[in-house]
Amino acid sequence: MTEAAAAANSRAVRGRVLTFLRPPRSTGDAQSYRFIQDGIVLVKDGRIALVGPADEIATRLPASIAVDRHPDALIMPGFIDVHIHYPQTQVIASYGAQLLEWLEKYTFVEEQKFADPGHAARNAEFFLDELARNGTTTACAYCSAHPSSAEALFTAAHKRNIGMIAGAAIMNRNGPPGLLEPAREAIAASRDLIRRWHGTGRQRYAVTPRFAITSTDEQLAEAGALLKEFPTVLMQTHLDENKNEIATVKRLFPNEPSYTAVYARFGLLGPRSLLGHCIHLGDDEVALLRDTQSVAVFCPTSNLFIGSGLFNHKRLMEAGVRIALATDVGGGTSYSMLRTAAEAYKVMQLQGQNLPALAAFDLMTRANAAALGLDGEIGTIAPGAYADLVVLDARATPAMAHRMEVTRDLEEELFVLMTMGDDRAVRQTYIAGRPVL
Ligand code: GUN
Ligand code: ZN
């Protein structure tokens, strides 16, 4: 390849580079991250080829390479949202209901519209635009119960070369007829989607039983069997979000000792299983999550907005349960992972706990990638990883710039970003090396 041809598929991104190496143990844990005050990320064919100090790398770049300069900004791995509903972009900000009523009154109504492939395609494009505006470069998304809705999202993400994980919601009871499919047919449709999309480009599949209330024993068992059949496919569902939800599960599965035990019985727990909310867990349930290496997904803006309760981060952490962070739009109220981290901080404060900024940014990037089994591929700035990047400006608003006048170090800057930042703080987002804003 000529130097000009190599440069055409290459780009250098220059600024203050920050990436996490392991979970921070406390505030000020400088061993947990790599920070380069004037760094260059060299991108080739969508992946990171090299990262290091500009004074070492600049002289080795081809003369014709494009260099994006982001002075003063932080270049970080793009954010990862581990739990979000793409058919809920017009459910977000629905007034005055807790979970079960909220689902019936607003959510199921909007999701039925996704039977129309045109509606699904339009919403998929909007959804991906909005993620990019917020610096989110990978999401694990629920689709509606219509397989065509998953098809629309995968098609749009594949075209943009975005690494998306998604699945059509499986439901066969306790919902409107427009969203229910007989157990076998829903599973067959999921199998079909897995064969079409799991591993196609950057796309991956998550088997998606909505929650225990909307599936019969038979359908949950079939979902478990599907996971066994495809050992690299993920699983996403909801767990222990709301007290009335839990009482309903108790009624529907009277022989199971707990909500978590229902999922365990049908083979739905394991290292590839993402369980949204996990608020009202008994000790036996915490032990089940830990022993199966399942992931508890913390969705703070949703838990506050729907009034579900407070996620006990410290308890799960100390028990050794894997934890991820997510928006849960449209129960959640913001697409921004920065806003999500701010609310996570407050949820923890209400319980006498703390969330250091280092831990929050590690969660949004490296730890969320690990929760998806994608560590090394995304959520990090290191050679070989996809060049999915976010460029953050901690002085994006007058109030932030004013506050920044007195910040003393990187960790304070990160705390300003997560407490006051949102889409306005996102200066650029790169998807596989391509600037998309
Ligand atoms: N439980 C079952 N479905 C949903 C949903 O769409 N959102 C939330 N927050 N919880 C759920
Ligand atoms: Zn959800």
| Whole-angstrom distance, CA of residue 150 vs CA of residue 334 | 22
| pTM higher than 0.75 | yes
> Which residues on neighbouring strands pair with residue 196, listed in sequence order?
none
Per-residue pLDDT tens digits for 126-167? 999 999 999 999 999 999 999 999 999 999 999 999 999 999
**In contact, 188 and 223? CB cutoff 8 Å:** no
Ligand closest in space to the Cα of 91: 1
**In contact, 71 and 16? CB cutoff 8 Å:** no
Ligand 1 binding pocket includes 202 (Cβ within 6 Å): no
Ligand 1 binding pocket includes 241 (Cβ within 6 Å): yes
Looking up tokens 């990436």 gives 19
DSSP 378: B
| Whole-angstrom distance, CA of residue 302 vs CA of residue 264 | 25
Ligand closest in space to the Cα of 239: 1
pLDDT value for 8: 64
Ligand 1 binding pocket includes 302 (Cβ within 6 Å): yes
Percent of the chain with pLDDT over 90: 96
Per-residue pLDDT tens digits for 381-426? 999 999 999 999 999 999 999 999 999 999 999 999 999 999 999 9
Helices (H), 3-95: 3-8, 54-57
Compute, in angstroms, the gap from residue 351 CA to the centroid of ligand 2: 23
**In contact, 418 and 74? CB cutoff 8 Å:** no
Compute, in angstroms, the gap from residue 331 CA to the centroid of ligand 2: 7
Backbone angles phi, psi at 407, to 5 degrees: -75, 145
Ligand closest in space to the Cα of 88: 1
Compute, in angstroms, the gap from residue 218 CA to the centroid of ligand 2: 22
| Whole-angstrom distance, CA of residue 293 vs CA of residue 271 | 5
Compute, in angstroms, the gap from residue 397 CA to the centroid of ligand 2: 31
Q: Within the chain, which residues score under 70 in pLDDT?
A: 1-8
Ligand 1 binding pocket includes 107 (Cβ within 6 Å): yes
pLDDT value for 183: 84
pLDDT value for 5: 53
pLDDT value for 368: 99
Ligand 1 binding pocket includes 151 (Cβ within 6 Å): no
In the three-class reduction of DSSP (H, G, I as helix; E, B as strand; rest coil), residue 209 is classed as: strand
